[in-house]
Amino acid sequence: MSEKQKIVHSILAAFEYLVFVGCLCVGVAVSYANALEIGDSLPALTVTGEGGERISLDDYSGKVVYLDVWASWCKTCRHSLPWMDGLQRRFGSQGLQILAVNVDEDPKDAQKFLESSEVKLLVGYDPGGKIPAALRVQTMPTSYLIGRDGKLKAIHGGLNDERMKEIEKEIEELISQKGEG
């Protein structure tokens, strides 16, 4: 290859790289531009329940909703479900509704796990992944805390003991605001 061809080849490679990086940046910008922000209303979300019934986020208008997106292959998700079950038992009578949306391609995987546990949560199934796409889920689990007014109050990606305490405080605060948020 001649020196001139090497230079042209290098310039083309650099140009291809810049185009790739530019497309990547535009994709990220579009993703973040469409991402939910605190104070936003969530889009209309509907999943299928364990008995085949339709579960809609709108069904829980006026309640504090903890919407959790999880998968049975996610170790942290499996750990979080008993914790969420405890939250539902503790705060359900005060206006909390937990909706655990499973995104396994085969809902039977989630059902096997749920049958082996003591968890009695409201579980919806989204094997097509429409909910994670609509909400721009980046990690598992991801949860959305929604006030009584239907507005997004918090987003949590991932979960650990410290974050569980933080979420419990947020829930307690929202529940205490009867009708305000």
User: Tens digit of pLDDT for each residue in 107-155?
Assistant: 999 999 898 888 899 999 999 999 999 999 999 999 999 999 999 999 9
Tokens standing for residue 93: 């009578």
The architecture of the domain spanning 46-176 is 3-Layer(aba) Sandwich (3.40)
Model pLDDT, residue 174: 97
Spatial distance between the Cα atoms of 162 and 18, rounded to a whole number of angstroms? 41
Sheet with 96-102: list strands edge to edge.
Answer: 54-56, 46-49, 122-125, 96-102, 64-70, 142-146, 152-157
Containing H/E element for 8?
A: helix 3-33
Query: In this predicted structure, what is the pLDDT of residue 129?
Result: 94
pTM of this prediction exceeds 0.85: no
pLDDT at 22: 44
What is the pLDDT, as a whole number, of residue 9?
Answer: 54
